[in-house]
């Protein structure tokens, strides 16, 4: 019993030490990462909030896309996270150092990587909403905004996409092979994941075929974020989105841990 308690405490200390190191490293890179993250939503806000409405597009579509960019940012960051892991697995395998620390558990090490990603991506994504509001002004209605719901959805998204990046790293063998992810995974998931349209709009156009979008976890992130910002009326119920995203997180987490144990030959 005492040995088990000591092992757990060692794992927790290693986890916290790794988190402390990541905070120092990521804080130095925060500004650059933030600039990278805001480039896309700022471009959307200007183009779809001002330019295209001048030729007849609904001015509200700009705010619709900017809020959806919160989900897209998590997705984009997860691909970078997965690519970084694959690069390490294929070269120096620096992650092995943490696996060899006394009493360290590979699950704690991998959970730390996901937790670090989740917190970093949440802090990077939060400024997108006020920046979008600053650019769009009255064209972005935040009267229905729920900070609590938005925070819950962003934390859930951070952990889901962290495990999603881990899952990608569990089966993609090389950096070169990872290039295909942008075309084979990112593009179809974003285009068909209710980023450019709501599920209700998709159902009006495609009918029962639009149910395919419900398999896409990005759908629940986009619909959940928009319901937290714009209100529940036009989107999938927030609590359903949150529950499904958590369920996806459990599935991807279990599978990625299992596959990485095999790939990295961990005991």
Domain residue spans of the chain? 2-263
Residue tagged 């090490």 (tokens): 109
What confidence category does residue 35 fall into, taking pLDDT thresholds of 50, 70 and 90? confident
Does residue 72 contact residue 195 with C-beta atoms inside 8 Å? Answer: yes
Q: Taking the model in full, what pTM does it have?
A: 0.89
Residue tagged 């802090």 (tokens): 123
* pLDDT 10s digits, 199-209: 999 888 888 88
Residue 136: Cβ-neighbour burial (10 angstroms; 0-12, 13-18, 19+): buried
d(CA 190, CA 199) in angstroms, rounded, equals: 13
- Residue 256: the pLDDT is 92
């Amino acid at each position: 019993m005492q040995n088990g308690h000591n092992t757990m405490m060692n794992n927790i200390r290693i986890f916290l030490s790794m988190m402390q190191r990541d905070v120092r490293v990521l804080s130095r890179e925060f500004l650059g990462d933030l600039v990278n993250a805001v480039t896309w939503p700022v471009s959307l806000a200007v183009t779809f909030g001002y330019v295209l409405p001048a030729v007849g597009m609904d001015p509200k579509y700009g705010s619709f896309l900017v809020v959806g960019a919160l989900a897209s940012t998590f997705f984009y960051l997860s691909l970078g996270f997965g690519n970084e892991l694959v690069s390490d697995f294929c070269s120096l395998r620096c992650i092995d150092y943490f696996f060899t620390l006394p009493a360290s558990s590979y699950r704690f090490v991998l959970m730390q990587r996901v937790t670090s990603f989740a917190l970093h991506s949440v802090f990077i994504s939060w400024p997108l909403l006020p920046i979008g509001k600053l650019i769009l002004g009255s064209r972005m209605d935040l009267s229905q905004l729920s900070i609590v719901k938005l925070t819950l959805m962003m934390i859930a998204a951070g952990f889901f996409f962290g495990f999603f990046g881990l899952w990608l790293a569990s089966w993609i063998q090389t950096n070169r092979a990872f290039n295909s992810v942008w075309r084979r995974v990112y593009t179809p998931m974003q285009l068909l994941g209710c980023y450019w349209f709501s599920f209700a709009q998709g159902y009006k156009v495609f009918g029962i075929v639009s149910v395919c979008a419900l398999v896409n976890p990005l759908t629940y992130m986009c619909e959940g974020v928009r319901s937290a910002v714009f209100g529940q009326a036009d989107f999938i119920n927030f609590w359903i989105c949150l529950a499904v995203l958590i369920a996806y997180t459990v599935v991807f987490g279990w599978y990625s841990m299992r596959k990485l144990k095999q790939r990295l030959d961990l005991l």
